[in-house]
Structure 1
Amino acid sequence: MTGEPGDGPTPNDPTWAAAQVHPGVRAAAAWTWRLLIIAAGLYALGKLFLYAEEVFVPVAIAILLSALLSPLVAWLQRHRVPRSAGVLSAVVLTFAIIAAGLTFVVQQLIVGVPRMSGDVAASIAKARRWLETGRLHLDSDSLRNVSNDMITWLKEHEASIATGALDTATVATKLVTAALLTIFLLIFFLYDGHRIWDFVTKIVPSAHRVHVRGAGDAGYRTLQSYVRATVLVAFIDAVFIGIGLAILRVPMVMPLMALIFLGAFIPIVGSVAAGSLAVLVALATHGWFTAVLVVVVLIVVMQVEGHVLQPFLLGRSVKLHPVAVILVIAIGLMVAGIVGGLLAVPVLAFANTAITYRPAEGADQDEFVEEPVDLPGEETS
């Protein structure tokens, strides 16, 4: 049966089967296979990152550091300092500050841990007395059994603990190698980053090359704003929380400040983790009242950060919804651990700006192609 003209496709028509499917189902199917392909691509990129993380992690850290230091290099160049000298000065100064800070923190730990051990022992004894004489009325035998179980566990796992200690040299070697690679890449990113970006984008078809370069430039500027603001916010958090800890006489203030500073680079999650450690130290050394006061200090500083510092310093260009931040950090932690959590939000900020990039109306495309792109390197004028 062929049907009359205008009655629609017939079973013999190739489009007949598609016409029987509801348009909503067709749209859902189209979205589904596209999302599956995107998810598979992201999964493959994550696996590739893990497979060669000893290379990709230094590259990512070098890009973040170049975003932080490129304004300094540009400022030195504007003041007639040769670019090569400006790059070397910025890199040497940065790593000298990092090395000095790490050395000071390690010294504080060496001095502070033995001093704190007595306070911790006294707190444990006090907790044990409370468990024995408090409402729980635990007897000494029960507490002794718990201690024996802990000692037994340590003896059973002493082989793995020793293996981990032996692996320290291997980890140190990898860290030194990664640091040297990061320094090498950072120097070239700062000195010749725009030419590297131009060369990389030559794989893009010429019809889309201008747009990709502009999107990369916009994303890198967002990355610059994000890194500078994050460093400043982390510094302010560490200083004011450190002042609060010093007033409350919590031990090891400088190491805790260093951890709070580093934790601020992983938004929300890192700050909570570093702050929790400060609370535990206060609880172990001075009791619950001081620990509660440390919690109050943390809440006040975090509120000022979330409602004043971040909106003022980051602005709308880097504004990300907290749900998106939490989800991308969780994915980063699952894929690459602490490094993934550290890099997740900068990658999201860069991608958010690059994907939504639109060139300015009336811009001369030919002139734009000749303009060097600031990724990652000197800023365009």
Structure 2
Amino acid sequence: MSGSGKPPADDVRDVVPRILRVAAAIGWRFLVVVAALYVVGTVTGYLAGLVVPVAIALLLAALLAPGVDQFAGLGVPRGLATALVLVGGLVILGGVLTFVVVTFVNGIPGLVSQLSQSVDTATKWLTDGPLHLSDNQIREASARFMATLTENQSDITTGALTTAATVGEVLTQTLLVLFTLIFFLYDGPRIWQFLIRAAPDRVRTRVDVAGRRGLAALVSYVRATSAVAVVDAVGIGIGLAVLGVPLAIPLAALVFLGAFIPIIGAVVAGSVAILIALVANGVVAGLVVAGIVIAVMQLESHVLQPLLLGRAVKLHPLAVVLAITGGLLVGGIAGALLSVPLLAVLNSGIRSLLSEADEHVDPADVHASEPEESAPDEPGLDTEVGPKP
């Protein structure tokens, strides 16, 4: 005992079991990390109207920036290169959307007619089939349905007004995405150099290399996902067109957009295609479309993801599923869309920071168009989705 009456620190450590001391040390550090993540998540959710457009602009910049760099490398001024790539992308996107919308509008009357025939067929089956329902019972069910709609008319109206407000927010955020994208493409390198000034001088080069590795992973992810989305859309679209399913092209476009949300998006879009085929063309066509969707999903899971996404993001399938689920719970559709690219960027950046091979790498030698190849044996969530190419 010391003169102050308190036991020495060594005596206290001897009294407390080592496993309890280790557990306490890990526990309070874990609580600090959880608290920090909670604060970051809360702030991000509060600023979702700002964070999501900037994140989407970053994804689009990862897709378009290599084109701007190629034009700039040919001697084209960067401002003109940005304008060429951006206008070209908008023209292509606008043309595709216009074609899809016009096709969808033109196909609605035929779909309504086929839906009416399907309702008549279902009604006939209910009356003449094994259920033997009477016309009065069917009319009563229809009357109850209409009464339910009437009773909830105010809720439906409120939902329509909310949707209108949401459309206004979407338009505003779309303008923010476009505005941010312009500056990411034109002034991206200088913006990045400004951001890394926050890092201490002794580690600034390592942070620069890690950030460029993360950007390379993001570029590879966007390219690979685009390729997978095109294959999914073409495969399912051809199947729908051959079967004569209405709105085949808009449904293929929906599959293309849904494929950017890994695993979940393509399944949901394919389910919509199956439902329309079932309603418009009957049970047999619905089953055939279901088989086509399953075949395309198997092609994506066992061929495209190992060859493309596996090389691009170097993430284990379990990590992808958990990231999507967590993003969906936290941020809805936007969270599911952004969770995997965020995880890919963090995984690549952290691997670079931990890699001894990147200690002496010149940041100028790290190109966004090249996938990260350093530190292949570093531990982490870097098990590829399939064999290494």
Q: Is 1:201–2:168 an aligned residue pair?
A: no
| Equivalent residue for 1:22, pick from 17, 30, 35 | 17
Query: Any conservation in 2 of the 1:197–1:373 contact (CA below 8 Å)?
Result: no
Cα distance change of structure 1 residues 19 and 120 upon mapping to structure 2, 3 Å threshold: farther
Q: Is 1:92–2:87 an aligned residue pair?
A: yes
* Alpha-carbon offset, residue 354 of structure 1: 1.1
Query: Any conservation in 2 of the 1:216–1:375 contact (CA below 8 Å)?
Result: no
Q: Is 1:179–2:177 an aligned residue pair?
A: no
Trace 1:328-339 onto structure 2 (pairs within 5 A): 328-339=323-334
1:226-269: CA deviation from partner (whole Å, max 9, x where unpaired): 00111111012101110000001110011101110010000111
Cα distance change of structure 1 residues 155 and 17 upon mapping to structure 2, 3 Å threshold: farther
Provide the residue aligned with 2:305 in structure 1. Answer: 310
Q: Is 1:217–2:212 an aligned residue pair?
A: yes
Query: Any conservation in 1 of the 2:278–2:285 contact (CA below 8 Å)?
Result: yes
1:178-217: CA deviation from partner (whole Å, max 9, x where unpaired): 2222122112111221211121122222233222221111
Provide the residue aligned with 1:154 in structure 2. Answer: 149
Provide the residue aligned with 1:361 in structure 2. Answer: 357
Trace 1:186-335 onto structure 2 (pairs within 5 A): 186-335=181-330
Q: Is 1:42–2:37 an aligned residue pair?
A: yes
Q: CA RMSD in A?
A: 2.5
- Between 237-246 and 315-324, report the one with greater CA deviation: 315-324
Cα distance change of structure 1 residues 123 and 362 upon mapping to structure 2, 3 Å threshold: closer
* Alpha-carbon offset, residue 59 of structure 1: 0.7
| SS across alignment from 1:73 | helix
Provide the residue aligned with 2:373 in structure 1. Answer: none
Trace 1:44-59 onto structure 2 (pairs within 5 A): 44-59=39-54
Distance across 2 between alignment mates of 1:29 and 1:374: 44
Distance across 2 between alignment mates of 1:322 and 1:348: 12
Unaligned runs of 5+ in 2: 370-389
One-letter code of the match for 2:194? Answer: F
- Between 347-356 and 154-163, report the one with greater CA deviation: 154-163
Distance across 2 between alignment mates of 1:189 and 1:372: 20
Cα distance change of structure 1 residues 125 and 16 upon mapping to structure 2, 3 Å threshold: farther
| SS across alignment from 1:356 | helix
- Between 310-319 and 186-195, report the one with greater CA deviation: 310-319
Cα distance change of structure 1 residues 142 and 40 upon mapping to structure 2, 3 Å threshold: farther
One-letter code of the match for 1:349? Answer: A
Unaligned runs of 5+ in 1: 3-9, 377-381
Provide the residue aligned with 2:159 in structure 1. Answer: 164
Structure with greater contact order relative to length (CA < 8 Å, sep ≥ 6) = 1
TM-score under structure 2 length normalisation: 0.86
Provide the residue aligned with 1:347 in structure 2. Answer: 342
Cα distance change of structure 1 residues 132 and 264 upon mapping to structure 2, 3 Å threshold: same
One-letter code of the match for 1:289? Answer: V
| Equivalent residue for 1:123, pick from 108, 113, 118 | 118
Distance across 2 between alignment mates of 1:175 and 1:274: 21
Cα distance change of structure 1 residues 67 and 145 upon mapping to structure 2, 3 Å threshold: same
